[in-house]
């Protein structure tokens, strides 16, 4: 079933100049990029996005990190997009993320794990609408995705 997943390349991905490499991996999987926006996010937006972690010990550190420099907010679509994306990004702690995953290949510390992806289709919808207006998300299909993926 087609799903939407909100993906955010955190400040480390932009500053380390690996945005293109990460997007290439997601495109090659066969997922569709349907929105993208470079943003310097406010603490208010970051806190809304990560509301479920408000009481955690790392919350302040997390908000400081994701607001410290630009992020690339994106919407990706495809069949089973959320679970595929979570597999491709790997475990939250890069030390446990398998080689071949984005976190497994590009980072070391949990607090600097360079990429966010929604953890359920429901959260995917919630997060996409937090960062994008409906008209900014452009769902598209082509012969490649419909016939060959
Ligand atoms: P996820 O990003 O894999 O969904 P969550 O548990 O939702 O993982 O945590 C959100 C983000 O909060 C993580 O990606 C990471 O940046 C940060 N984080 C989670 N746990 C820790 C921790 O124990 N120390 C520091 N930062 C953490
Ligand atoms: Mg999460």
- Residue 116 among the catalytic residues: yes
Whole-number Å distance, alpha carbon 134 to ligand 2 midpoint, is 23
Structural contact between residues 106 and 114, judged by C-beta atoms closer than 8 angstroms: yes
| Count of the separate structural domains present in the chain | 1
Global pTM reads 0.98
> Tens digit of pLDDT for each residue in 40-68?
999 999 999 999 999 999 999 999 999 99
Question: Is residue 142 domain-resident?
Answer: no
So what's the pLDDT on residue 14? 98
Number of the ligand closest to the Cα of 8 = 1
pLDDT in tens, 82-115: 999 999 999 999 999 999 999 999 999 999 999 9
7, part of any domain: yes
Residue 146 covered by a domain: no
CATH number for position 101: 3.30.70.141
Residue at 75 is within a domain:
yes
Q: What is the mean pLDDT of residues 7-29?
A: 98
- Whether 144 is in a domain gets the answer no
Residues in the ligand 1 pocket, defined by CB under 6 Å: 53, 58, 61-62, 92, 110-111, 113, 116, 119
Percent of the chain with pLDDT over 70: 100
pLDDT at position 144 is 86
**Structural domain for 66, as ranges:** 2-136
Q: What is the DSSP string of 59-116?
A: HHHHHHHHTSS-EEEEEEEEETHHHHHHHHH--SSTTTSPBTBHHHHH---GGG--EE
């Amino acid at each position: 079933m087609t799903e939407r997943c909100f993906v955010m390349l955190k400040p480390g991905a932009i500053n380390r100049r690996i945005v293109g490499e990460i997007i290439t991996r997601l495109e090659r999987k066969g997922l569709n990029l349907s929105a993208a926006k470079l943003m310097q996010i406010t603490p208010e937006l970051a806190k809304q996005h990560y509301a479920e972690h408000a009481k955690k010990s790392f919350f302040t550190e997390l908000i400081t990190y994701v607001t410290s420099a630009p992020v690339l907010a994106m919407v990706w679509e495809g069949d089973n997009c959320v679970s595929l994306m979570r597999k491709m990004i790997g475990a939250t702690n890069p030390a446990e993320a398998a080689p071949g995953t984005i976190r497994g290949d590009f980072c070391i510390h949990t607090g600097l794990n360079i990429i966010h992806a929604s953890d359920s289709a429901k959260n995917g919808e919630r997060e996409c609408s937090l960062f994008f207006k409906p008209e900014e998300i452009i769902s598209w299909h082509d012969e490649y995705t419909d016939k060959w993926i």
